[in-house]
Amino acid sequence: MKIERLTIDADSAGQEFFLRVFRFRGTGDASTVYLQAALHAHEVPGTVALDRLIPRLEKAEREGRLAADVTVVPHANPIGLSQVLFGETLGRFDFSGRANFNRTFPASAKDGQATQRADDRLKAQLLALATEADIALDLHCDDEGPVYLYVLERQLEQGRRLAQSLGASVILTDSGEDPFSFVLKVAERWAGQGRENDARFSATVELRGMIDVTPDLAEQDAAGLYRYLVDLGTVEDTLSPVTPLEPVTGDIDAAELVLTPAPGALMLNAEVGEWVTEGQLLAVIVTEAGLEQHEIRAPFDGLVVTRRDRRIVRRGEYVVKVLRHPRPLQE
Ligand SMILES: [Zn+2]
C-alpha cells in the first residue's frame, strides 16, 4: 500500500488542500478499480466503509491476492470538509462558486490552467484518478434511504452485479445524454479516450442515510465492496455465496421528488422502502399549530425510496422521493 498526498491549491493565500490517495498494487490481469467517498463532504457512510475496506485490501496485496490495482480516496472533498457554518459542516456546494461538488465539471482542456479555481482543480484531480481505472464507484448517501445505485442504462447488468454484492435494493438508470454527475463524467471521458466497452463501469452508490454511520454498517458495506472486488476478479478470494436479491429498477425520471406546498413541521407517514398507492398519505406539514396543516399524498403508485432527514421544511423543499413502479407480486 502506498499513500500519496496530492495538493490542491486553494484560492486564498496561505492555504492549501490535499487528497490522501491509497494505492494498492495488483499483479495479475483483472479490472482496476477506483473507489471514492464523501464527494459531498458531510456524507460519511462511504468514508467509514472504506476505512474498513483498506485493511482487507492491504491483506490481499500482502498475500499476493490482488490481481489489479485498486485506488481508494476516503475523503474526496477536503474543500467541502473545511466549510463550516454555525457549527455544521456543509459539503454539498462550494461556498466560493456555489457549484454542487457532484455537478458542473471542468472541461478536461482546462485542467491545470493557472486560473482554474480550487473546486475545479479538485474535480479535475478526482476525474483524472477515476478515469485511470476500469471501474469507478462514487460513494454517497441520501437523507434517509436504502443502499441504492445510479447507473447508466446501458450498464444495468453491471449495476445488478454491483447491487448483488452490496445488497442494494434499488437501481435508478440514466441515459447518460447529459453527463451531469461525477460517474457520468467518468464514463464520458472513457468514451472520449475510446476506452468505453463492457469492461468499464461507473456508478454512484448511495449508502443509506446521513446518520447511518455505525460499526456494523461500515463492516457490512466494506464486506459488500470486498465481495464486489472478488466478483470482478480484482481480489482473489473465496466467499460464501449470498442469497440473490432482485433490486427494484427504474428510470431516474420515474423517481419523483415530492415537494411540500407549505412550510412547517414535517411529520412523515411513509417509511423508506414502503410501497404506496396513489393518494396515500405520505406526510403532514403543520404550518400554524392549531390553525393550519397540509397533507402530502402519493402522486402515483410506487416505492418510497428516500425521505428528508430534517423535520422542519420550507415551501418547495423535498419531502420524499417516490419511484413510479408497480408493486412486485412477491411483496
Ligand atoms: Zn451526495
Q: What's the pLDDT at 41?
A: 98
Among 166, 100, 101, 111, CA closest to 137: 166
How does strand 170-174 pair with strand 248-251? parallel
- Report CA(301)–ligand 1 centroid distance (Å): 26
Query: Measuring CA to CA, how many Å separate 47 from each of 72, 100, 184?
Result: 10, 19, 21
Q: Name the one residue in this structure whose C-alpha cell is 463532504.
A: 41
- Report CA(98)–ligand 1 centroid distance (Å): 15
Residue 331: which pLDDT band, with cuts at 50, 70 and 90? low
- Report CA(150)–ligand 1 centroid distance (Å): 12
Residue 109: which pLDDT band, with cuts at 50, 70 and 90? confident
- Report CA(142)–ligand 1 centroid distance (Å): 7
Cα–Cα distance for residue pair 101/123, rounded to 1 Å: 8
Q: Which domains does the chain have, with CATH numbers?
A: 2-246 (3.40.630.10), 254-324 (2.40.50.100)
- Report CA(246)–ligand 1 centroid distance (Å): 24
Which whole number is the average pLDDT over 61-84?
98
Average model confidence (pLDDT) across the chain = 96
- Report CA(205)–ligand 1 centroid distance (Å): 9
Cα–Cα distance for residue pair 168/164, rounded to 1 Å: 7
**Helix, strand or coil for residue 166?**
helix
Per-residue pLDDT tens digits for 155-168: 999 999 999 999 99
> Residue 52: what residue type?
R
Read off the C-alpha cell for 138. Answer: 462514487
- Report CA(140)–ligand 1 centroid distance (Å): 4
Which whole number is the average pLDDT over 294-304?
98
Indicate whether 205 pLDDT > 80.
yes
Please say whether the dihedral angle defined by the alpha carbons of residues 151, 156, 161 and 163, taken in this order, is positive or negative: positive
Among 92, 52, 102, CA closest to 72: 52
Q: Which residues of 59-98 are buried (b: 16+ CB within 10 A; e: fewer)?
A: ebbeeebbbbbbbbbbbbbbbbbebeeeeeeebbbbeeee
Cα–Cα distance for residue pair 228/162, rounded to 1 Å: 6
Q: What is the pTM of this model?
A: 0.96
> Residue 23: what residue type?
R
> Residue 121: what residue type?
R
- Report CA(39)–ligand 1 centroid distance (Å): 7
- Report CA(293)–ligand 1 centroid distance (Å): 31
Indicate whether 288 pLDDT > 80.
yes
- Report CA(102)–ligand 1 centroid distance (Å): 7
Q: What's the pLDDT at 111?
A: 75
Indicate whether 196 pLDDT > 80.
no
Adjacency order of strands within the sheet including 275-276: 255-259, 318-324, 302-307, 275-276
Q: What's the pLDDT at 112?
A: 75
- Report CA(180)–ligand 1 centroid distance (Å): 13
% of the chain with per-residue pLDDT over 70: 99
- Report CA(141)–ligand 1 centroid distance (Å): 6
- Report CA(330)–ligand 1 centroid distance (Å): 32
**Lowest-pLDDT range, 27-31, 225-229, 260-264, 266-270?**
27-31
Per-residue pLDDT tens digits for 131-178: 999 999 999 999 999 999 999 999 999 999 999 999 999 999 999 999
Ramachandran class of 129: left when φ > 0, alpha when ψ lies in -120 to 50, beta otherwise:
alpha
If residue 49 lies in a helix (H) or strand (E), which one and from where to where? helix 45-62
Read off the C-alpha cell for 213. Answer: 454511520
Indicate whether 199 pLDDT > 90.
no
Q: What's the pLDDT at 6?
A: 98
Indicate whether 77 pLDDT > 70.
yes
- Report CA(11)–ligand 1 centroid distance (Å): 24
- Report CA(323)–ligand 1 centroid distance (Å): 19
- Report CA(204)–ligand 1 centroid distance (Å): 9
- Report CA(288)–ligand 1 centroid distance (Å): 32
Q: CA geometry: angle at 154 spanning 153 and 160, to 5°?
A: 75
Residue 330: which pLDDT band, with cuts at 50, 70 and 90? low
If residue 137 lies in a helix (H) or strand (E), which one and from where to where? strand 135-142
Which whole number is the average pLDDT over 57-66?
98
Read off the C-alpha cell for 158. Answer: 453491471
- Report CA(139)–ligand 1 centroid distance (Å): 8
- Report CA(58)–ligand 1 centroid distance (Å): 27
